[in-house]
Amino acid sequence: MQARIKAIYQKLEGDRVIWMAAFFLGLLSVLAVFSAMTTLAVKNGGYGQFLKHIAMLSAGFGMMYIVHKRRFKFFLNKSAYFYLIAAALLVITIFFGTNINNAGRWIRIPGIGISFQSSDIAKIALIVFTASWLHKRREKLDDFNGTITPLLGFIGLICLLILPSNFSTAAMLALVCFVLMYIAGVPWRHLFKIIGFGVGFLVLIIMLGEFGPKGVLPRYDTWKNRILNKVDADSEGNYQSNLAQYAIYQGGVIPKGPGTSTTRNFLPHPYSDMVYAFVIEEYGSILGGAGLLLIYIILFFRTVRFTSKCDHQFGRLVAIGLSLLLVVQALINMGVSVNLFPTTGQPLPLVSLGGTSTILTCISIGIILSVSRSVYNPEAYLASPAVDEEIDEEILIEETNEPNVHSAESKTNQFTSV
């Protein structure tokens, strides 16, 4: 048994702390979702949805393993194709997507009954594309019109396609892409311009929502009411958030253990949107609340640590971008549960009940592990399957002869020292 465990351990290359963080999140997901769905299973006469979750987690970890064994430069070479596919899926979602609560976020595949959120694919595609764009044009970051403006157009297109149905995801993506531009070495004078554009765009959204046709932003009133209820001291608050607060209060400090929850009988979506409050109720505020937060923080700072040693700028950018995206999404979900933010519907990565979103989260972690593998296991990484090797060699030659690479590295070191 010990020899078998050791053999499995040796096959998991790259940053093994990140591997452990992913396994802990997956294990917690199984325990929390199973406990949270007990009442739902009794009503529906079975645990079919839970078994589907197990299948998706298993498939996700399988994809994580496969992706981490490939060279991350595959995503660099195919980034434009990923972007085009993501944009096409978002357009299809707008016109033909399944509408849930005035939010056409889902594409249903005819005949097999599987649905997925195109925005989950777009998140990975846009981060990969932004990292690729900044890497390939790293010598021209001073050129605002020739380099930064087109990139803002590509980022803006994806965010605009996501915005009507999911404001929080669009805003989160825009923030992560902005951070990537900072890390890549975009001059501050350009970053201030981008901030100005962002503020102006937000004002435009408010003006359209208040005075424009209702069909332009169908969920604007929902966003507005959630924010107003949050800032209004006299407001009774959101029903879902209030129940989450009660669940956290019931949890206390000392863990009670799995299966002890009382709020799962009436807390809306304790296995998805409010899973963090549910975890605190069963595992306490220290082990469940602070412990779960710590796992995401460890995942991010381990990524920052190995990217500071990575010789390839695209690897640094894509790993930090994807890990930052996961952590920001986790913080938003936790903030909603503890009543810091308005309700957004962001799931807790790798913990909430999920289908294709779980698999895509695992793919993101697989890409991060692939970059870490190039740092910690360089010989095995170079021996792994390669795609478009000629393009890879050209990129390596360019990077070796690049005069301005140290400025980007110094910006990364500045980021890692924070």
Q: Which helix (H) or strand (E) holds 144?
A: none
Report residue 193: phi and psi, to 5°.
-60, -40
pLDDT on residue 46: 57
Residue 100: per-residue pLDDT? 57
Confidence of residue 173 (pLDDT cuts 50, 70, 90): very high
- Give the sign of the dihedral formed by CA 15, CA 17, CA 19, CA 25: negative
| Residue 313 pLDDT level (bands cut at 50, 70, 90) | very high
Cβ neighbours, 10 Å, residue 114: 11
> By the 8 A CB rule, do 280 and 147 touch?
no
Using DSSP bridges, classify how beta strands 114-117 and 103-109 pair: parallel, antiparallel or unpaired: antiparallel
- Return the pLDDT at 39: 65
Greater confidence, 319 or 263? 319
Mean pLDDT of 68-91: 93
Residue 245 has pLDDT above 90, yes or no: no
| Residue that wins the pLDDT comparison between 395 and 237 | 237
Average pLDDT, the chain: 83
Whole-prediction pTM: 0.87
Residues 6+ apart with CB under 8 A from 357: 116, 117, 120, 347
**pLDDT tens track for 149-162:** 999 999 999 999 99
Interatomic CA distance for residues 86 and 24, integer angstroms:
30
Q: Catalogue the long-range contacts made by 335-340 (C-beta closer than 8 Å, 24 or more residues apart).
A: 336/241, 336/244, 336/273, 336/274, 337/241, 337/244, 337/248, 337/274, 337/276, 337/277, 337/280, 338/244, 338/245, 338/248, 338/276, 338/277, 339/237, 339/241, 339/244, 339/245
Distance CA 305, CA 375 (A): 11
Quick check: helix, strand or coil at residue 234? coil
The region of weakest confidence among 53-67, 110-124, 358-372 is 110-124
d(CA 314, CA 336): 33
Structural element, H or E, at residue 362: helix 356-376
d(CA 86, CA 283): 38
Residue 11: both structure tokens together: 């096959």
Residue 397 has pLDDT above 50, yes or no: no
Which pair of tokens denotes residue 292? 């779960």
Q: Does the structure show a pLDDT above 80 at 359?
A: yes
Q: What are the structure tokens assigned to 316, written together?
A: 């640094």
What is the gyration radius of the CA atoms in the chain, in angstroms? 22
Q: pLDDT tens digits for 184-234?
A: 999 999 999 999 999 999 999 888 888 877 767 777 777 777 777 766 544
Report the range of poorest mean pLDDT among 22-26, 140-144, 211-215, 313-317: 211-215
